[in-house]
Amino acid sequence: MTANINKLARKNIQTLNPYQSARRIGGQGDTWLNANESPISVSFKARIECFNRYPECQPNDLVSSYANYVGLSNSQILVTRGADEGIELLIKAFCKPGEDAIIYCPPTYDMYAINAKIADVAIKEIPTFKNTWQIDLFNINLNLEKVKLIYICNPNNPTGNIISKRDLKSLLKITLGRSLVVIDEAYIEFSPKNSMVNSLKEFPNLIILRTLSKAFALAGIRCGFTLATEEVINILNTVISPYPISTIVTDIAVQSLEKKAIEDMRNRVLTLNMNRIWLVDELKKISYVKKVFDSHANYILVKFYMFEKIFQSLWEKGIILRNQDHKNNLKNCLRISIGSNAECIHLVKELKNLSKI
């Protein structure tokens, strides 16, 4: 008699569709433009040699380094395993399974909803407005009952747009004393003037997520940060795992936040922003490109005629893009990460070759 292990899993897990990360989807390629990683690598050497002791739960050097970078106090910083752990910890700390809810505003990053599903927390889906992708304040306000967390990605992934700062402040006022507003600023270094960090002193219900995975080109070390009031950080510290950040991650992350490394990061951002401008101009010249949407991040959203043929043909040539056709109001859309200059040229060349077929 064979035991059916699946029946032992929680019912909400039995039916859960996991997040389809770029590496999980797979593909055989040499031009990876599907995960919004930096195409420009950085090199650091470990400064430590001994690993026999557990690391600090919240490494003081790293907390201080990031606090200095964003202009906050150490008590307002929580270091996490990527921004993804911050998303999970907030649900774990503030949402009661089977009772509370979150709001998320698709099309956006799927992990807000997936983490809620894992925790058996209800999801209220309030789509952004079609084409502008601005948040629907009216319907959010109508659906705040039992909502503990509202997740907003800014710049938004996968659309690349900036959410109006005026709308974000209105949302914070509407939800004050009722819900926490979580603004995911994973891509904010590509549009720093749009950060809401300066609003933390004004709104105690504001939480900001950050990461070293994008502009800092350190996706491989999995290091992120949650920025909030000291009260929120203290609550999250009660539910975080004992040793979330490895010693080697702390070592590299601290180096990445030194003055010269931050200057290098900003130069990479400038390079990628210039590559984005060039790529957008070139794509607009291609006949089967229906629309290229404005972007303030290291990726662009593009609507194609014959998008399936384009996606598959490029996949077979080793150019891996991200299919967004299944998401709200993104029919026939592909997301393209901004690659190196050579990768952008290669992509445009192959697209132009396809247009001759």
In this predicted structure, the answer to whether residue 87 has a pLDDT above a threshold of 80 is yes
Residues 6+ apart with CB under 8 A from 300: 160, 276, 279, 280, 283, 292, 293, 335, 336, 338
Asked if 96 and 242 count as a contact pair (C-beta separation under 8 A), the reply is no
Strand partners, 259: none
Q: What domains lie within the chain, and their CATH numbers? A: 20-40+261-354 (3.90.1150.10), 60-257 (3.40.640.10)
Which pLDDT score, from 0 to 100, does residue 1 have?
47
The reply to whether omega before 107 is within 30° of 0 (cis) is yes
The whole-chain average pLDDT of the chain stands at 95
Asked if 83 and 212 count as a contact pair (C-beta separation under 8 A), the reply is no
What tens digit of pLDDT does each residue of 208-251 get?
Answer: 999 999 999 999 999 999 999 999 999 999 999 999 999 999 99
What is the mean predicted confidence (pLDDT) over 122-133?
Answer: 95
Alpha carbon distance 340, 357 (integer Å): 26
AA letter at 68? N
The better pLDDT of the pair 1, 293 is held by 293
What tens digit of pLDDT does each residue of 293-304 get?
Answer: 999 999 999 999
Which pLDDT score, from 0 to 100, does residue 29 have?
75
Task: Determine the number of helices (DSSP H) and then strands (DSSP E) in the chain.
Answer: 12, 13
Q: How much of the chain exceeds pLDDT 90, in percent?
A: 89
Beta strands in 49-145 (DSSP E): 77-80, 101-104, 122-125
What tens digit of pLDDT does each residue of 10-20 get?
Answer: 888 888 888 77
What is the mean predicted confidence (pLDDT) over 160-178?
Answer: 98
From the number of C-beta atoms within 10 Å of its C-beta (0-12, 13-18, 19+), residue 250 rates as: buried
In this predicted structure, the answer to whether residue 7 has a pLDDT above a threshold of 90 is no
Instruction: Please name the residue that has the structure tokens 């004393």.
Output: 177
